């Protein structure tokens, strides 16, 4: 039996997505910038995907910029907006628990003369709104906050953040990293006054190497990639038509009439996993609990810390049983250092290197959870016997 519980890292491509990607690569392989029929056929895929995505966001097709994925979307949003608006000020605000594809652009900007405020979070990972209010000033030009934390699943109060930012100064640009939110909850940028919003295709059963950036009409932002002038000059380079077509199909498959029902089932899977883990000795659940009032979590992420066990050891022991999990964000798990998110929520120091992320997809079942729990329960006594002192 194989149980894949690392869907926050990447999801399996849906069969219909694979079919349309193959169709484009085999038959409709023209360059969408070409004026002949093959080019027009390719361009039709790009336009159709943009329309599907725009419908899901309740925005205009022209507000969708296709990228190579979440990292490029975040870099373009943050660096592009900061550079385009630097005459208005040099102060930027970002939460303290962002993904590396957000943190690193802010560090880059900090090294190049911008002033950055990093907002603290509470014990379940929710950004402190009072800190945001205190940080805003006349030099603030950009605020960035993730919608869903990629390690512990906390849903950030983006609606309140957007309201606070725009009431202070409607010209401040608000960027939301929705990479772990899109496809798991309904994401409507206008509801939280977002000017920029990042999404990645491979988190929603789409292809790797493709994503998009929502850019609200009239938002002042500079391109990062220059050259042929594709996508109205915002991202030069030949469009990844197979990837874009696959992304559109993935969005179409997720945001359908069954969406609410399927997401509610995913929440039940999350609750069942948490209840099962809490029955084991020496396990701490991180983030928002299902019973908590006034806080919210995405339906597909559970973070658990295991006393006296290194995360990497447990990860590979589970791998031997064909259970696949993560010891943190996939984009940072191969780099040294402890999780800044877990540090920010005040997790005990001895648990920082003992935390596993379980993440689900719409096909995850209770049987998958049961197999994982039985395996973990059997492994814990043995692994704790060999813990380093």
Compute CA 34 distance to the chain's CA centroid, rounded to the nearest angstrom.
34
Which residues in 192-224 are b (16+ Cβ under 10 Å) and which e?
Answer: bbbbbbbbbbbbbbbbbbbbbbbbbeebebebb
Which tokens belong to 44? 């039709």
Distance between CA atoms of residues 108 and 82, nearest Å: 11
Among residues 102, 173, 156, which one has the least CA distance to residue 118?
A: 102
Structure tokens at 356: 């596993």
Task: Find residue 221's DSSP bridge partners.
Answer: none
Look at residue 82 and give its three-state secondary structure: helix
Question: 148 to each of 72, 111, 191, 300, how far by Cα in Å?
Answer: 18, 27, 16, 10
Q: Tokens 């029902």 — which residue?
A: 261
Identify whether 13 is a catalytic site residue. Answer: no
Core vs surface per residue 263-281: b (16+ CB within 10 A) or e: bebbbebbbbbbebbeeee
Q: Which is the catalytic residue, given 13, 137, 331, 361?
A: 331
For residues 234 and 231, give the distance between their C-alpha atoms in angstroms, rounded to a whole number.
6
Written as six digits, the tokens of 284 are: 């701490």
Q: At residue 343, what are phi and psi to the nearest 5 degrees?
A: -65, -40
Give me the half-sphere count of Cα atoms (radius 13 Å) on the Cβ side of residue 28: 22
The residues assigned a catalytic role are: 331
């Amino acid at each position: 039996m194989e149980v894949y519980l690392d869907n926050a890292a990447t999801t399996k491509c849906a069969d219909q997505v694979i079919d349309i990607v193959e169709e484009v690569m085999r038959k409709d392989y023209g360059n969408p910038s070409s004026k002949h029929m093959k080019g027009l056929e390719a361009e039709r895929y790009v336009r159709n995907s943009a329309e599907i995505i725009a419908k899901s966001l309740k925005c205009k097709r022209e507000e969708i910029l296709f990228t190579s994925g979440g990292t490029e979307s975040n870099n373009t949003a943050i660096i592009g907006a900061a550079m385009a608006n630097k005459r208005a000020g040099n102060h930027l605000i970002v939460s303290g628990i962002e993904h590396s594809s957000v943190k690193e652009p802010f560090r880059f900007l900090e090294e190049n003369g911008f002033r950055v405020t990093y907002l603290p979070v509470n014990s379940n990972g929710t950004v402190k709104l009072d800190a945001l209010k205190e940080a805003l000033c006349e030099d603030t030009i950009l605020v960035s906050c993730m919608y869903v934390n990629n390690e512990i699943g906390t849903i950030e109060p983006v609606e309140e953040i957007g309201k606070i930012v725009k009431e202070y100064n409607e010209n401040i640009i608000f960027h939301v990293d929705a990479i772990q939110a899109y496809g798991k909850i309904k994401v409507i940028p206008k509801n939280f006054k977002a000017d920029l919003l990042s999404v990645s295709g491979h988190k929603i059963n789409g292809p790797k190497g493709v994503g998009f950036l929502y850019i609200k009409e009239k938002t002042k932002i500079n391109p990062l990639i220059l050259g042929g002038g594709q996508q109205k000059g915002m991202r030069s380079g030949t469009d990844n038509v197979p990837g874009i077509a696959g992304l559109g199909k993935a969005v179409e498959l997720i945001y359908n009439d069954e969406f609410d029902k399927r997401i509610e089932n995913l929440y039940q899977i999350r609750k069942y996993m948490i209840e099962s883990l809490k029955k084991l000795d020496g396990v701490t659940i991180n983030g928002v609990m299902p019973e908590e009032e006034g806080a919210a979590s995405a339906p597909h992420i559970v973070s658990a810390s295991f006393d006296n066990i290194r995360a990497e050891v447990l990860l590979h022991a589970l791998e031997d049983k064909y259970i696949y999990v993560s010891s943190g964000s996939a984009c940072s798990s191969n780099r040294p250092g402890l999780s800044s998110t877990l540090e920010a929520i005040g997790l005990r120091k001895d648990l920082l290197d003992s935390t596993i992320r379980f993440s689900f997809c719409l096909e995850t079942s209770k049987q998958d959870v049961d197999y994982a729990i039985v395996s973990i329960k059997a492994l814990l006594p043995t692994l704790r016997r060999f813990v380093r002192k």
